[in-house]
């Protein structure tokens, strides 16, 4: 797979890069960013994946996430993919919560979305292989986090891939697409009306069905306008308590859904992951 370098900038002693490649899964050009801290020649570093939310690209967290100082401190590579396929030939929807920018980290089975919207396979299979071939990542030491729709992606990918990720966290995640309007629209559109097929894309359902994580960290703002209808943090608390899934779920007083919130707690998440990603 040919990798094109879009840009590189020195930051905190390391390199913040943006890269592009042709994806076999989505059939489109895909862009992502990687921060590689300064490191000894030949060293392999742990990696933290960050999945972004609705309407976002790799650029949102890259420019506003304030993760580089903590990643440089701990020697952790930070990987930020896009949220969906892009391009003039890619199907789209008028709403911000479906189509481009809203891939929901699923493999679509319904037309016209099935042709390009294969973000699950892209994130779980194709991009990791590309990263392993081009960056000094120790693939045995990976963590994953994300925000909102990306928090949903981080939780479900972590739960479905037992043993791949040593650490999983999330900011304001959509915890149950089965139980919110965003999820109802996206999963009906992408994978059809049979709700039994949705369970593998629902963190609460996966936990109820027996999937487990070694530990879990979630931060959720109490002033988040999406909390009660869309995010439903209460359902994740219930699922973890009912099943004994270890979890630290912190309700952060007065914080909203924005990158002001994410950037406030990003360093704590990087610290938390770094502790679990030690050699």
Residue of 58, 74, 152, 257 marked active site: 257
- Closest to 56 measured CA to CA, from 90, 77, 34, 31: 31
Tell me, rounded to whole angstroms, the distance of Cα 117 from its chain centroid. Answer: 16
Residue of 52, 224, 269, 273 marked active site: 224
Query: Which token pair is 246?
Result: 């270890």
For residue 89, indicate whether it is catalytic. Answer: no
Decide: 92 and 115 in contact? Cβ < 8 Å.
Answer: no
- Closest to 181 measured CA to CA, from 25, 54, 36: 54
Q: Which helix (DSSP H) or strand (DSSP E) does residue 227 occupy?
A: none
For residue 23, indicate whether it is catalytic. Answer: no
- For the four alpha carbons of 97, 86, 51 and 155, in that order, the dihedral sign comes to positive
- For the four alpha carbons of 19, 21, 27 and 28, in that order, the dihedral sign comes to positive
Residue of 148, 169, 172, 176 marked active site: 148
What are the residue numbers of the active site? 148, 224, 257
């Amino acid at each position: 797979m040919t990798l094109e370098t879009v840009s590189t900038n020195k930051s905190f002693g390391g390199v913040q890069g943006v890269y592009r490649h042709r994806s076999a899964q989505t059939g489109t050009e895909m862009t992502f960013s990687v921060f590689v801290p300064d490191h000894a020649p030949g060293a392999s570093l742990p990696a933290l994946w960050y999945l972004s939310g609705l309407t976002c690209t790799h650029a949102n967290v890259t420019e506003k996430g304030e993760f580089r100082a903590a990643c440089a401190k701990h020697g952790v590579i930070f990987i930020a993919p896009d949220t969906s396929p892009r391009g003039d030939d890619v199907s789209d929807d008028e709403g911000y919560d479906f189509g481009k920018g809203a891939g929901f980290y699923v493999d679509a089975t319904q037309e016209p979305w099935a042709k390009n919207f294969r973000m699950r396979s892209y994130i779980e299979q194709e991009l990791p292989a590309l990263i392993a071939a081009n960056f000094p990542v120790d693939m045995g030491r990976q963590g994953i986090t994300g925000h909102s729709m990306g928090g949903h992606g981080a939780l479900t990918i972590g739960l479905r891939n037992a043993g791949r990720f040593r650490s999983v966290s999330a900011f304001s995640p959509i915890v149950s697409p089965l139980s919110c309007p965003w999820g109802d629209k996206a999963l009906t559109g992408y994978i059809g009306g049979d709700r039994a097929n949705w369970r593998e894309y629902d963190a609460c359902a996966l936990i109820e069905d027996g999937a487990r994580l070694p530990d879990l960290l979630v931060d959720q703002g109490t002033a988040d306008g999406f909390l009660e209808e869309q995010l439903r943090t209460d359902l994740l608390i219930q699922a973890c308590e009912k099943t004994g899934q270890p979890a630290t779920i912190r309700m952060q007083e007065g914080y909203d859904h924005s990158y002001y919130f994410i950037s406030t707690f990003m360093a704590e998440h990087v610290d938390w992951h770094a502790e679990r990603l030690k050699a």
